[in-house]
Amino acid sequence: MTFWRAMPPTFTEIPMNQARAIKDAKPLSLLEPERMLEIAEKPFRLLPREVAGPAFELFSLFADKEKTALPLCASLSVWISRWGVDVEDMIKILHDATKPGVRADAKFPGSLVDYLATKVQLLIDERKREADRKRMRDKAAAEEAGATVKINLAEVLGGIGKSV
């Protein structure tokens, strides 16, 4: 799988409330130096408490190859805060990444982040497909309701013509 499949959605694909949150968010480069140092020293503080445990578990498997957890935590934080990935879904993805087969395939930490990015992108794509299916079901239901009203109106008009 290529890296490009794991790219974030374009700005037009982001719902308006998330677009406002992205616009109002403060980039990491604009943070105070003390805050940046704190994040660099304790990167798991970027994550929600529920995700920090599984993320630490995953990082500890690669601690001998990777000196800092900042790339992993920064990616997870962005996926949760900006892409709208649920905490429960992220926990499932992290637990899947600790499976022995996945760990054996990840020769270096970057490939592990690529694996996580692919899983997140698949999750986002599935949500989009589900939203499209729901929209199509609602549209079909509305059209069916409109057709029922037209049929009833025709029956009423037909009944009026017969009674006159």
- pLDDT computed for residue 42 by the predictor: 85
So what's the pLDDT on residue 12? Answer: 43
pLDDT greater than 90 at residue 1: no
Helices (H), 68-108: 70-81, 87-97, 100-105
Contact (Cβ atoms closer than 8 angstroms) between residue 58 and residue 94:
yes
68-127 pLDDT per residue, tens: 888 888 889 888 888 888 889 999 999 888 888 776 666 666 778 888 889 999 999 999
**Percentage of the chain lying above the pLDDT 90 cut:** 13
Average pLDDT for 132-151:
80
Is residue 36 scored above 50 in pLDDT? yes
Could you give the number of structural domains in the chain?
A: 1
Instruction: Tell whether 56 is covered by a domain.
Output: yes
Report residue 144's pLDDT band, with 50, 70 and 90 as the boundaries.
Answer: confident
- Residue 138 forms part of a structural domain: no
Return d(Cα 96, Cα 118) in angstroms, integer. Answer: 12
Is residue 82 situated within a structural domain? yes
- 60 closest CA partner among 77, 137, 52, 28: 52
Residue 141 within any structural domain of the chain: no
Return the top range by mean pLDDT from 14-18, 34-38, 95-99, 146-150. Answer: 95-99
List the one residue out of 118, 85, 97, 83 whose CA is nearest residue 2: 118
CB atoms inside a 10 Å sphere around CB 38? 13
Q: Is residue 80 part of a domain?
A: yes
Query: Would you state the pLDDT for residue 92?
Result: 92
Who wins on pLDDT, 151 or 7?
A: 151
Does 29 have pLDDT greater than 60? Answer: no
Residue 61 counted as domain residue: yes
pTM for the predicted model, two decimal places: 0.60
Q: Supply the pLDDT for residue 133.
A: 94
- pLDDT, mean over the chain: 74
Residue 90 lies in a domain: yes
Q: How far apart are CA 60 and CA 158, in angstroms?
A: 76
Domain coverage including residue 59: 3-133
Evaluate whether residue 143 is within a structural domain.
no
Residue 49's alpha-carbon distances to 44, 45, 77, 109, 133, in angstroms, are 9, 8, 11, 22, 33
